[in-house]
Structure 1
Amino acid sequence: MSRHEKQLELFVQNLQKQNFYDAHEDLEVLWYERRFEESDEVKLLKGFINASVCFELHKKGKTEASQKVWNNYLKYRDLIHSTDSIHKEKYLLIIDEIERIKKSFIK
């Protein structure tokens, strides 16, 4: 398993455990080193980070801020369609998991 795959797996595990801050950190290490690239994949990672931040803010009762960050996630989510990555299948599963958490966690 590559480092990238490991971080994606940790991200999903932490989302499922509602460890949203840790999930954010799991992807931050991947995004940070590539943050200056003009790549849809990098922007998609940023979107996933936004989703975990949204959930953490909601957990802390900051619903307005949570919604703003969720809107940022939505802006990046659709980049999955233009992302050319060997990790695309995993990214699609992550999107499904994020949507599942959103429905169950934020009413």
Structure 2
Amino acid sequence: MSDIETFIQMVQNEEFAPAHEILEHDWKAYKKENQMQKAKALQGLINGTTALALYKKGKVEGYQKVWETFLKYHTLLDEVELENKDYFLAARELLFKKNKEVTQQT
């Protein structure tokens, strides 16, 4: 299973905090290779899960700030070339879905 598939599975299971760590290696690698658009696209997904983890912990202000970063970068997924791109796009849609579910639970 690829990292993005693992990420999706963890988000589906609402394991938001550990899910964000799954993509960090690739995010750091893209930054190191100066592939900033790809890095920011992954940063968006990472921040999406971090935001949801914060919300679940009752840290709504932190959630709002970090979710804004997800919103800022999520469109980069449409622009960059990524292996298994369909999975990255599915992860983005899943984050929007989970955001709606999680924030309406309280």
Shorter-chain TM-score above 0.5: yes
Query: Match of 1:58?
Result: 55
- In structure 1, the gaps of 5 or more residues are none
Q: TM-score, normalised by structure 1?
A: 0.88
Residues paired across the two proteins, number? 103
Alignment of structure 1 residues 1-107 onto 2, 5 Å: 6-36=2-32, 37-107=34-104
Q: Which structure carries more relative contact order (alpha carbon 8 Å, separation 6+)?
A: 2
The runs of at least 4 aligned residues of structure 1 exceeding 4 Å deviation read none
Aligned-CA RMSD value: 1.4
Residue 63 of structure 1, CA deviation: 0.2
Identity value in percent: 33
Q: Give distance in 1, aligned partners of 2:7 and 2:37.
A: 19
State whether residues 28 and 39 of structure 2, in contact with CA within 8 Å, keep that contact through their aligned partners in structure 1: no
Q: TM-score, normalised by structure 2?
A: 0.88
Q: Give distance in 2, aligned partners of 1:22 and 1:81.
A: 25
C-alpha distance after superposition, 1:68-98 (max 9, x if no partner): 0000000100112211223321111111111
- In structure 2, the gaps of 5 or more residues are none
